[in-house]
Protein backbone atom coordinates (compact mmCIF):
# COMPACT_ATOMS: atom_id res chain seq x y z
CA UNK A 1 0.00 0.00 0.00
CA UNK A 2 3.06 2.26 0.19
CA UNK A 3 3.35 2.49 -3.57
CA UNK A 4 0.65 1.07 -5.84
CA UNK A 5 2.15 0.71 -9.31
CA UNK A 6 0.16 1.07 -12.50
CA UNK A 7 0.74 1.24 -16.23
CA UNK A 8 -1.64 2.50 -18.88
CA UNK A 9 -1.15 1.35 -22.46
CA UNK A 10 -2.66 2.79 -25.63
CA UNK A 11 -4.31 0.80 -28.42
CA UNK A 12 -0.88 0.32 -30.04
CA UNK A 13 0.46 -1.34 -26.86
CA UNK A 14 2.64 1.66 -26.05
CA UNK A 15 2.82 2.82 -22.45
CA UNK A 16 1.03 6.14 -22.01
CA UNK A 17 1.71 6.40 -18.30
CA UNK A 18 3.88 4.38 -15.93
CA UNK A 19 3.60 5.57 -12.37
CA UNK A 20 2.77 4.64 -8.81
CA UNK A 21 0.52 6.03 -6.13
CA UNK A 22 2.59 6.82 -3.05
CA UNK A 23 1.02 6.97 0.38
CA UNK A 24 2.42 7.99 3.75
CA UNK A 25 3.19 5.34 6.32
CA UNK A 26 2.01 7.75 9.01
CA UNK A 27 -1.54 7.70 7.61
CA UNK A 28 -4.16 5.16 8.63
CA UNK A 29 -5.06 2.40 6.19
CA UNK A 30 -8.37 4.15 5.54
CA UNK A 31 -6.70 7.42 4.55
CA UNK A 32 -4.17 5.61 2.41
CA UNK A 33 -6.94 3.70 0.64
CA UNK A 34 -8.72 7.01 -0.01
CA UNK A 35 -5.57 8.43 -1.63
CA UNK A 36 -5.40 5.36 -3.87
CA UNK A 37 -9.15 5.47 -4.62
CA UNK A 38 -9.02 9.15 -5.55
CA UNK A 39 -6.10 8.57 -7.94
CA UNK A 40 -7.77 5.52 -9.53
CA UNK A 41 -10.95 7.53 -10.05
CA UNK A 42 -8.93 10.33 -11.67
CA UNK A 43 -7.13 7.85 -13.93
CA UNK A 44 -10.40 6.17 -14.90
CA UNK A 45 -11.82 9.51 -16.05
CA UNK A 46 -8.67 10.63 -17.87
CA UNK A 47 -7.85 7.24 -19.46
CA UNK A 48 -11.05 5.18 -19.77
CA UNK A 49 -9.88 1.56 -19.84
CA UNK A 50 -11.07 -1.36 -21.90
CA UNK A 51 -9.69 -3.99 -19.56
CA UNK A 52 -7.97 -3.99 -16.17
CA UNK A 53 -5.12 -6.46 -15.68
CA UNK A 54 -4.02 -7.18 -12.12
CA UNK A 55 -1.29 -9.21 -10.50
CA UNK A 56 -2.96 -11.72 -8.23
CA UNK A 57 -1.86 -11.59 -4.63
CA UNK A 58 -0.20 -14.42 -2.79
CA UNK A 59 -0.25 -15.34 0.86
CA UNK A 60 3.38 -15.25 1.86
CA UNK A 61 3.08 -12.64 4.60
CA UNK A 62 -0.46 -12.70 5.96
CA UNK A 63 -0.68 -9.07 7.18
CA UNK A 64 0.79 -7.65 3.96
CA UNK A 65 -1.49 -9.83 1.88
CA UNK A 66 -4.56 -8.59 3.74
CA UNK A 67 -3.57 -4.98 3.10
CA UNK A 68 -2.93 -5.65 -0.60
CA UNK A 69 -6.37 -7.20 -0.93
CA UNK A 70 -7.89 -3.99 0.41
CA UNK A 71 -6.27 -2.15 -2.50
CA UNK A 72 -7.61 -4.84 -4.86
CA UNK A 73 -11.09 -4.29 -3.43
CA UNK A 74 -10.90 -0.55 -4.07
CA UNK A 75 -9.70 -1.18 -7.63
CA UNK A 76 -12.39 -3.83 -8.25
CA UNK A 77 -15.08 -1.43 -7.03
CA UNK A 78 -13.92 1.67 -8.93
CA UNK A 79 -13.35 -0.26 -12.15
CA UNK A 80 -16.36 -2.57 -11.73
CA UNK A 81 -17.79 -1.88 -15.18
CA UNK A 82 -14.64 -3.09 -16.92
CA UNK A 83 -13.34 -6.59 -17.47
CA UNK A 84 -10.74 -7.47 -14.84
CA UNK A 85 -8.17 -10.17 -15.41
CA UNK A 86 -5.87 -11.55 -12.73
CA UNK A 87 -2.52 -13.19 -13.39
CA UNK A 88 -0.53 -14.98 -10.67
CA UNK A 89 3.06 -13.72 -10.25
CA UNK A 90 4.44 -17.00 -11.62
CA UNK A 91 2.38 -16.61 -14.81
CA UNK A 92 3.74 -13.09 -15.29
CA UNK A 93 7.31 -14.26 -14.79
CA UNK A 94 6.78 -17.22 -17.14
CA UNK A 95 5.31 -15.03 -19.88
CA UNK A 96 8.25 -12.62 -19.77
CA UNK A 97 11.17 -14.90 -18.90
CA UNK A 98 10.70 -18.08 -16.82
CA UNK A 99 8.42 -19.06 -13.95
CA UNK A 100 11.12 -19.01 -11.30
CA UNK A 101 12.61 -15.66 -12.37
CA UNK A 102 13.03 -12.93 -9.79
CA UNK A 103 11.26 -9.58 -10.11
CA UNK A 104 14.66 -8.02 -10.76
CA UNK A 105 15.37 -10.42 -13.64
CA UNK A 106 11.98 -9.67 -15.19
CA UNK A 107 12.66 -5.95 -14.84
CA UNK A 108 16.07 -6.37 -16.52
CA UNK A 109 14.52 -8.23 -19.46
CA UNK A 110 11.97 -5.45 -19.92
CA UNK A 111 14.67 -2.78 -19.74
CA UNK A 112 16.79 -4.68 -22.29
CA UNK A 113 13.84 -4.92 -24.68
CA UNK A 114 12.60 -1.35 -24.05
CA UNK A 115 15.64 0.73 -23.03
CA UNK A 116 13.73 4.05 -23.03
CA UNK A 117 11.35 2.94 -20.30
CA UNK A 118 12.11 4.18 -16.81
CA UNK A 119 10.73 2.66 -13.63
CA UNK A 120 10.95 4.53 -10.33
CA UNK A 121 10.34 1.38 -8.33
CA UNK A 122 9.60 -2.34 -8.52
CA UNK A 123 5.85 -1.71 -8.30
CA UNK A 124 5.95 0.14 -11.61
CA UNK A 125 7.99 -2.54 -13.37
CA UNK A 126 5.63 -5.19 -11.97
CA UNK A 127 2.62 -3.37 -13.39
CA UNK A 128 4.33 -3.07 -16.77
CA UNK A 129 5.13 -6.80 -16.73
CA UNK A 130 1.50 -7.62 -15.92
CA UNK A 131 0.39 -5.54 -18.91
CA UNK A 132 2.90 -7.27 -21.18
CA UNK A 133 1.63 -10.63 -19.93
CA UNK A 134 -1.90 -9.71 -21.00
CA UNK A 135 -0.69 -8.72 -24.48
CA UNK A 136 1.40 -11.89 -24.79
CA UNK A 137 -1.40 -14.17 -23.54
CA UNK A 138 -4.00 -12.60 -25.84
CA UNK A 139 -1.70 -12.82 -28.86
CA UNK A 140 -1.53 -9.04 -29.30
CA UNK A 141 2.23 -9.08 -28.75
CA UNK A 142 4.66 -11.64 -30.11
CA UNK A 143 7.26 -12.19 -27.42
CA UNK A 144 10.38 -14.19 -28.13
CA UNK A 145 12.04 -15.00 -24.82
CA UNK A 146 15.18 -16.20 -26.59
CA UNK A 147 15.74 -12.76 -28.08
CA UNK A 148 15.24 -10.79 -24.87
CA UNK A 149 17.20 -13.07 -22.56
CA UNK A 150 20.93 -12.52 -22.53
CA UNK A 151 22.94 -15.66 -22.05
CA UNK A 152 24.65 -15.79 -18.70
CA UNK A 153 28.34 -16.30 -19.00
CA UNK A 154 29.33 -19.17 -16.79
CA UNK A 155 32.82 -19.53 -15.51
CA UNK A 156 34.36 -22.83 -16.32
CA UNK A 157 35.51 -24.58 -13.24
CA UNK A 158 39.23 -25.18 -13.43
CA UNK A 159 40.04 -28.84 -13.11
CA UNK A 160 43.27 -29.45 -11.29
CA UNK A 161 45.81 -31.79 -12.81
CA UNK A 162 47.31 -34.70 -10.89
CA UNK A 163 50.52 -32.72 -10.60
CA UNK A 164 48.72 -29.75 -8.99
CA UNK A 165 46.83 -32.00 -6.57
CA UNK A 166 49.85 -34.11 -5.55
CA UNK A 167 52.26 -31.17 -5.51
pLDDT digits (tens, 9 = 90+) for 2-43: 899 999 999 999 999 999 999 999 999 999 999 999 999 999
Domains in the chain: ranges and CATH: 3-166 (3.30.420.10)
56-92 confidence digits (pLDDT tens): 987 666 777 788 889 999 999 999 999 999 999 999 9
pTM of the predicted protein model: 0.84
Cα 137 versus chain centre, distance: 15
The β-bridge partners of 22 are 3
**Number of CB atoms found within 10 A of residue 19's CB:** 19
CA–CA separation, 66 and 113 (whole Å): 34
Q: Of 43, 40, 41, 4, whose CA–CA distance to 22 is shortest?
A: 4
Amino acid sequence: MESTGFCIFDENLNPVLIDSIPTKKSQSHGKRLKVIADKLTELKQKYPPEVIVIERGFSRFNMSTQVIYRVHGILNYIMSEFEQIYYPPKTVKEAILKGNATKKQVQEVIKNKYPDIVFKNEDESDSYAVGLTYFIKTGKLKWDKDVVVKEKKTRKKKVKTDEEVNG
